[in-house]
């Protein structure tokens, strides 16, 4: 089951909002497809096939691309590719695959499904055996770290089966059931000092939330204020830069809702900071496009 946009831990140093957030964020593929150089008449848009079996000319490869630019320069603890296999051949058998970084630009609308893409054969970023149907979790931490620190250009990944491996068929992002769609889950640690200019942090004396979250392109920021106070509500990106002032002024005790529109912002994670004269609350939202 997808666990989207969770703040797992908050480590507080003193009483300032200089904190370390260990978080999990989830990314859906920008593009995903499989290539088949020989069996060109049976390409399925909502499926991802991988095989390398010479007797029947099955040499399918899976290609996937994720935009994790919002995590550029961040400390990635773990990255896991989640993909649902619905068919294994023969009779649910095993398929061993290896994962490599793609070396050229592509997208699923323009890349020919009859052409295998070039990849960095000298560096393997994952090894996995599909041995049953259901959701599979594949560790690609080293590749995600390379994307985040720009040591590898992020053109996505290709999944290639070992010799003599028959089909593993998985669902793509076009699968009609969202629970079967692939996604990338990244656990990362990010220090942030946003909003430390003029307020001390006192733990949760006001409530802050957003719905929907993740969102595209707008969400509602909800505030529950126990005591009347001047309050500033602002949005920041992961670099600590303010991207929006949502509200600034006096509010009586009560519940309030303010719209937030991210149409002009890049996809990724943002922090909402609500600060009164006595307290401050931070809440993470995820804009998906």
Separation CA 222–CA 209 (nearest Å):
5
Q: How many helices (H) and strands (E) does the chain have?
A: 1, 19
Tally of CB atoms within 10 A around 125: 21
The per-residue pLDDT string of the chain (289 residues; one tens digit each, 9 = 90 and over) reads: 343 333 333 332 333 344 444 577 889 999 999 999 998 777 889 999 999 999 999 999 999 999 998 888 788 999 999 999 999 998 888 999 999 999 999 999 999 999 999 999 999 999 999 999 999 999 999 999 999 989 999 999 999 999 999 999 999 999 999 889 999 999 887 555 444 443 333 334 688 888 888 899 999 999 988 888 899 999 998 888 899 999 999 988 888 899 999 999 999 889 999 988 888 888 889 898 8
Structure tokens belonging to residue 23: 């978080």
Phi-psi region of 284 (alpha: psi -120 to 50; beta: other; left: phi over 0): beta
Tokens 């998906």 found at: 288
- The torsion angles phi and psi of 90, rounded to 5 degrees, stand at -90, 140
**Tens-place pLDDT, residues 30-81:** 999 999 999 877 788 999 999 999 999 999 999 999 999 888 878 899 999 9
3-state class of 252 per DSSP?
Answer: coil
Contact 125, 97 (CB under 8 A): no
Q: Which two tokens stand for residue 169?
A: 């068929």
- Residue 244: what pLDDT? 95
Tell me 118's DSSP state: P
Specify whether the CB–CB gap between 106 and 158 falls below 8 A: no
CB–CB of 152/97 below 8 Å? no
Contact 155, 105 (CB under 8 A): yes
According to the model, what pLDDT value does residue 279 have? Answer: 83
pLDDT at 194: 45
Residue with tokens 């068919």: 87
Per the DSSP assignment, residues forming a β-bridge with 191 are 20
Cα–Cα separations (whole angstroms), residue 216 to 98, 170, 262, 283: 34, 27, 7, 17
Phi, psi for residue 31 in degrees, rounded to 5: -145, 145
Question: Burial level of 8, CB count in 10 A (0-12/13-18/19+)?
Answer: exposed
As to burial, measured by CB atoms within 10 angstroms (0-12 exposed, 13-18 middle, 19+ buried), residue 59 is middle
Q: How far is 45 from 47, CA to CA, in rounded Å?
A: 6
């Amino acid at each position: 089951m997808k666990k989207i946009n969770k703040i797992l831990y908050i480590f507080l140093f003193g009483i300032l909002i200089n904190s370390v957030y260990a978080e999990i964020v989830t990314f859906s593929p920008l593009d995903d497809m499989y290539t088949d150089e020989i069996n060109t008449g049976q390409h399925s848009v909502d499926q991802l096939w991988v095989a390398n079996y010479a007797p029947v000319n099955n040499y399918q490869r899976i290609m996937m691309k994720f935009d994790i630019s919002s995590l550029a320069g961040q400390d990635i603890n773990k990255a896991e590719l989640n993909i649902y296999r619905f068919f294994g051949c023969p009779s649910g058998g095993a398929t061993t695959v290896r994962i490599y970084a793609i070396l050229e630009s592509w997208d699923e609308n323009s890349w020919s499904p009859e052409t295998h893409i070039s990849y960095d054969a000298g560096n393997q970023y994952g090894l996995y055996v599909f041995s049953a149907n259901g959701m599979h979790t594949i560790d690609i931490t080293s590749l995600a770290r390379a994307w985040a620190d720009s040591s590898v250009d992020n053109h996505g990944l290709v999944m290639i089966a070992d010799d003599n491996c028959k089909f593993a068929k998985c669902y793509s992002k076009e699968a009609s059931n969202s629970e079967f769609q692939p996604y990338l889950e990244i656990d990362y640690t990010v220090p942030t000092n946003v909003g430390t200019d003029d307020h001390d942090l006192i733990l949760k004396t006001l409530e802050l939330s957003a719905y929907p979250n993740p969102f595209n392109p707008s969400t509602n920021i909800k505030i529950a204020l126990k005591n009347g106070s001047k309050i500033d509500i602002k949005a920041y990106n992961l670099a600590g830069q303010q991207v929006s002032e949502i509200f600034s002024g006096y509010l009586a005790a009560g519940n309030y809702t303010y719209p937030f529109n991210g149409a002009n912002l890049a996809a990724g994670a943002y922090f909402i900071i609500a600060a009164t004269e006595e307290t401050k609350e931070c809440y993470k939202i995820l804009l998906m496009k």
